[in-house]
Amino acid sequence: MAWKNSNSRYGAPHIALHWVMLLLLVAVYACMELRGLAPRGSDLRAALKPLHFLLGLSMLVLVAARLAVRWTAGAAPEIVPAPPAWQHRLSQLMHLALYVFMIATPVLGWLTLSAEGKPIVLFGLHVLSLLGANEALSRQLKDVHETLATAGYFLIGLHAAAALAHHYVTHDNTLARMLPGRFSR
């Protein structure tokens, strides 16, 4: 598979990062959903919180890599048959919203942890605190973080629904451009 985008497919790094980020998002959400089901004080509940933090901060690293690939891999493959202009514009807005979500949500989580005033330790490594301790600010940031995380369910769902609609209703190559090689046919 090619490193750069072609006229008909995204390049291997773009495809790999897309699906790895999906798996990472599933893991981030699973940590918090499972944490809510675990009894307070349980080992499982205690383990899921730092794992959520680690996975969330990992999202920032991967989104930076994804943006670098997006800017260096060449033009996006053409959609055949070409969609109407309004669909193209809506697609651009959806991708912008997804990138804002994938950057802002972990940054807000990091800011929340910083404002709690406790050391941020992930698997023995101390993470830089971005703010001084401020309990009221921490609660506000946490509320915004959680609201954005909830909105993420809808953004991800709409993105997936649009890809499936393109594949099964419009019968264009939108989804096939992003599938790994053996699934793209």
Q: What digits encode the pLDDT tens for the residues 15-67?
A: 999 999 999 999 999 999 998 899 999 999 999 988 999 999 999 999 999 99
CA 22 – CA 25 distance, rounded (Å): 5
For residues 158-173, average pLDDT: 96
pLDDT band at residue 2 using 50, 70 and 90 as cut-offs = confident
Q: What is the model's pLDDT at position 17?
A: 97
* Cis before 106 (ω within 30): no
The pLDDT score that the predictor gives to residue 124 is 79
Read off the pLDDT of each residue in 117-123 and give the average, rounded to a whole number.
80
Q: What are phi and psi of 126, to 5 degrees?
A: -85, 130
- Orientation of helix 85-116 relative to helix 135-165, angle to 10°: 150
* Mean pLDDT of the region 103-122: 92
Q: Where are the domains of the chain?
A: 12-76+86-183
Q: Check whether 185 has a pLDDT greater than 90.
A: no
Q: E-assigned strands of the chain?
A: 120-122, 125-127
Of 43-52, 86-95, 116-125, minimum mean pLDDT range: 116-125
pLDDT on residue 183: 59
Query: Structure tokens of 24?
Result: 């990472």
pLDDT of residue 72: 94
In the numeric block, which tokens belong to residue 49? 């919180």
Q: Identify the band that residue 158 occupies on the pLDDT scale cut at 50, 70 and 90.
A: very high
pLDDT band at 151 (very low <50, low <70, confident <90, very high): very high
